[in-house]
Structures are given as C-alpha cells and as structure tokens.
Amino acid sequence: MSIWDYSGWGDENFLKNSIGKKLCIYCGSRLYKFPKKQIEKLNQHMYDTHKWRTSMDAKEYEGGLIFKDEFEDDWMYTFRIEGLTIRICPSCGWWWSERTEITNWPYEVEKVGVASILKNFDSLSTFEPIEEVTNYLMAKYEYRHHIEPEKFENVVASIYNGLGFKTRVTSYHKDNGIDIYMDGDDDKLIGVQVKRYKNKIKTEYIRSFGGALMINDCTEGVFITTSNYQKGCELTAKKFEERGKPIKLVNAENLFDALKISKINSFDNSIDKFINMKEIKYSHLKTIRRDSIP
C-alpha cells in the first residue's frame, strides 16, 4: 500500500496548485524532473499496453498510435501523447504529471494532469516498508508524535542508514539505555537514544544516557528527541564530552534536516515505479483545440 492516492480525483484547485510546481507542496524540497530518455521509456510502455488492450491492428506513427479501422480498412489517428512531464519529490515521493493528449476524430487536443494526494492515516504502526513511513514523515512532520515509540526507533535507524551509518536496533524492552548502535569511522561505537516526546527533555535524561554510554562501552552518543531540550542539557552533554564521551543532542528540527538529507541520498530516480502504477488517472485541465485536421 502507498501513502499516496494517485486516482486523480483531487479537486480542481488542488491540481491547479500542483501542476507546474518546481518545489514540493508538502515538504518544500526541489522536485526532480525525469529526463527525456526515461519519459520515452514510459511512453513506449503505454503504447505497448494500449496495443495489447485493443484487438485492432495498431502501429506507431509520428510518435503516437494509429489503429486500423475494422470497417473501413483504413488507418486512423486515435491517440497521441505529447510533452509528458513528471516531476517527483526526492524527499517525500509526492509528484505531479502533465501531458497533452490528442484523441478521437476530429482531433481533440487537451491538457490533462494528475498529482498525488497524501492519504490520511490514524496509525502507521503496521505500515511497511519503512521508506513509506519516512516519506510520510517528510510530507507531514507533525505526524512524528503519532508513530509508536518502538516503530520510531526503526525510523531513526533508517534515517541514519541513509546518512551512511550501519545501524543495529536493540530489543525494545531490554535495551540497557541504548536504542540503536551505530558503527562510526575508526572503530567508533555510537550509542543512540530515541525519545519520541512532546515535552522538552530534562537534564537527568542526558545524565543517565551518559551512564548508559559508559556501561555499554560506546565511544560517543547521539540523543534524539522529537521535541526539544531543557536548559542545562547542553551543559551536561559538554561535561560528558570533557570526560571523553561526546554526546550530540538532536532536536526535532535537526532530525527533520537529517531525514531530508537521508531521503535525498537514497532517492531512486528510475521511472519504473510509474510503469507499474495502474491506478493513475489523468484529469482534464483544459481543451486546447477541437477541430478537424486532414
């Protein structure tokens, strides 16, 4: 299942506000435009499927498809697509697409478009794969408070995977104060604690985390929260650093930035996902021309 609805039934305003955008309307990232070669691959696939669906004899003509009229034994122009554009967000996966369709006899030339819409969820606790959960977080970051703490540890691990770290999530109930282990450069063992909290983190949390780093032989630590830190946390972290156990404090804003970089790093820019999306439906945007051309 996807977090996006592709059915094209969004209201007209949503389409109008989406199509042509260069920045993601959900997360603000710069959209990726599929290059011509990839678009041609998609067009080819569409023509092939179209040919397969109809029993009429079909052939390509001027970049479109023509069919042999059963009764007239004549080739008629029925379907052509021009200027297909797709832009996708590398961070959250939102996209829009626009194309010109030339259909029916006499020629009808119209612009059609589609933009994905974020679905609403009460819970993403059983949602797989984790990439979809992180996409959802990018698009709707306030949702971080609705993800179960246990699931959230996996989300954080996947963020750090995208940043190039090897991660290991510990057993949720007996973790000895370390939620995730990460392997850093030069044999560093980084301990991570994740607190999916709405309230600010108190200094005593940092103190006990520092203790957990000692017990578990970590060389350094990263404390992550979905909120922020009380005054004094930074000073406590500094004290641990002076004693050889640096602790990095990551707040909601820092985590969002890390998520964004991680998503862009692991963005898959192949158009194949569009080839397999059967449920995409383009909606009419405007009629350009309706007349007969010999």
* Contacting residues toward Zn ion, per CB under 5 A: 24, 26-27, 29, 89, 91-92, 94
Minimum CB distance to Zn ion, residue 266 (Å): 14
The smaller minimum CB distance to Zn ion, of residues 15 and 89, is found at 89
The smaller minimum CB distance to Zn ion, of residues 89 and 155, is found at 89
The smaller minimum CB distance to Zn ion, of residues 91 and 225, is found at 91
Other CB atoms within 10 A of residue 85 CB:
15
Minimum CB distance to Zn ion, residue 26 (Å): 5
Side-chain half-sphere exposure of 182, counting CA atoms within 13 A: 22
C-alpha 283, offset from chain centre: 23
Minimum CB distance to Zn ion, residue 92 (Å): 3
The smaller minimum CB distance to Zn ion, of residues 66 and 89, is found at 89
The smaller minimum CB distance to Zn ion, of residues 58 and 138, is found at 138
Listed in sequence order, the DSSP H helices in 89-139 are 130-139
C-alpha 166, offset from chain centre: 22
Minimum CB distance to Zn ion, residue 190 (Å): 29
Name the β-bridge partners of 108: 103, 290
Minimum CB distance to Zn ion, residue 91 (Å): 5
Torsion of CA 264, 265, 268, 269, to 10 degrees: 70
3-class secondary-structure state, position 51: helix
3-class secondary-structure state, position 226: coil
Angle between helices 149-162 and 252-265 in degrees, nearest 10: 50
The smaller minimum CB distance to Zn ion, of residues 27 and 233, is found at 27
- Tokens 């862009």, located at residue: 264
Nearest-angstrom CA–CA distance, 264 and 162: 8
Minimum CB distance to Zn ion, residue 10 (Å): 16
Nearest-angstrom CA–CA distance, 122 and 146: 8
First to last CA, the chain: 46
